[in-house]
Amino acid sequence: MRVLVTGGAGFIGSSLVHYLVIEKGYEVLTVDKLTYAGNLQSLKLVDGRQNHRFLKADICDRRAMDEAFDTFRPDRVMHLAAESHVDRSVTGAQAFVQTNVIGTFTLLEAARTYYGKLYAEAQGRFRFLHVSTDEVYGSLGDEGLFTETTPYDPSSPYSASKAASDHLAKAWERTYKMPIVVSNCSNNYGPYHFPEKLIPLTILNAIAGKDLPVYGKGENVRDWLYVEDHARALDVIIERGRIGETYNVGGRNERRNIDVVRRICSVLDERSPSTKPREELIRFVTDRPGHDARYAIDATKLENELGWRALENFDTGIGKTVDWYLENSWWWEPLRDRYAGERLGVLPAASAKVG
């Protein structure tokens, strides 16, 4: 099995590459541009393995994508490369439209050309999995869950760009009869997570005794999934998912942001006691513009049809995650040059406007 993984040097991509190379023994080509969020150190575990290769390339570069397809000749494509941080999309959406929309379009076109050149048997084997987010569905109230038929209603430039790319992937399946499957997953957490996102930022600030910023009142709810559960789900979906279908991925682990931060504080207080309880470091800060209130995934289709189950619940997963950050400062310390923890995604105040 030969699998081309885009975005494999990122958070979820590196977990997926580890799983495919080490657990499954597949031949994997990781294609990644190595933006600020990409990190070859996240692929150290597969470094030197004969069944893993790395290609530094931009998915918007059609010639590089054609060459990757023609030389590697994948049976499967798992497309994760994206700009992924909502806050960054608020203050600068250009890269999000470029990579998430144009990049996905370019990759789909390169895949279509390659697919058209395959013999029938290889065409029958070929699959393209487009990896997306539950944020495309917009925001939920206190009740209800996102299903695969929930209408798209994205709120942020990030989720709008992912929604656009989902529509492209589905259109390429319907129009060009390409064997494409789409997955929409809830918020992930775990090792190798770039420390601009809530959970790793909180862990690292709490280790350092720094303030723990919480947006608004911390009441926004997210449905948390341990990243290795997501990696296994993606493998199951590309292996057995039905062409043209969408599969929602989630672990039924809804938590308010403030409860996530408090839980991290208590786990850290247990594992690595400090002079005062870390909860005292919590600071409520101005909310994110357009902050969705609640996300929650109904993963019944994936569970019943494909037999996938999340193995971690939030308490076991967060314990493993905190332990990983405590033991792997070699990975996160150098990232401080790329991001020092400053607030992102704040729009200028009305008083700062001209006129």
Residue positions annotated with a catalytic role: 134-135, 158
Q: Which is nearer to ligand NAD, 12 or 281 (CB)?
A: 12
- At what angle are helices 257-271 and 314-327 packed, to 10 degrees? 50
The nearer residue to ligand NAD, 46 or 281, going by C-beta atoms, is 46
* Least Cβ distance, residue 59 to ligand NAD (angstroms): 4
CB 126, min distance to ligand NAD, A: 20
Task: Pick the closest to residue 266 from 252, 256, 280, 255 (CA basis).
Answer: 280
Q: How far is the CB of 277 from ligand NAD (least distance, A)?
A: 28
Task: Pick the closer one to ligand NAD by CB: 132 or 205.
Answer: 132
- Asked whether 23 and 56 are in contact (CB, 8 A), the reply is no
Question: Given the rule CB under 6 A, which residues bind ligand NAD?
Answer: 6-7, 9-13, 32-35, 37-38, 58-60, 80-84, 99, 103, 131-133, 162, 185, 187-188, 194
Query: Which CB sits closer to ligand NAD, 165 or 205?
Result: 165
Rounded-to-5 percentages of helix, strand, coil across the chain: 45, 15, 35
Q: Which residue is nearest to ligand NAD (CB)?
A: 10
Which residue is listed with tokens 């947006």? 215
Q: Are 180 and 128 within 8 A, CB to CB? A: yes
In the bound state with ligand NAD, the residue whose beta carbon lies nearer, of 215 and 278, is 215
Q: Kindly tell me the burial class for residue 67, based on how many C-beta atoms sit within 10 Å of its own C-beta (0-12, 13-18, 19 or more).
A: middle
Q: Can you say whether residue 341 is alpha, beta or left, with left for phi > 0 and alpha for psi between -120 and 50 degrees?
A: left
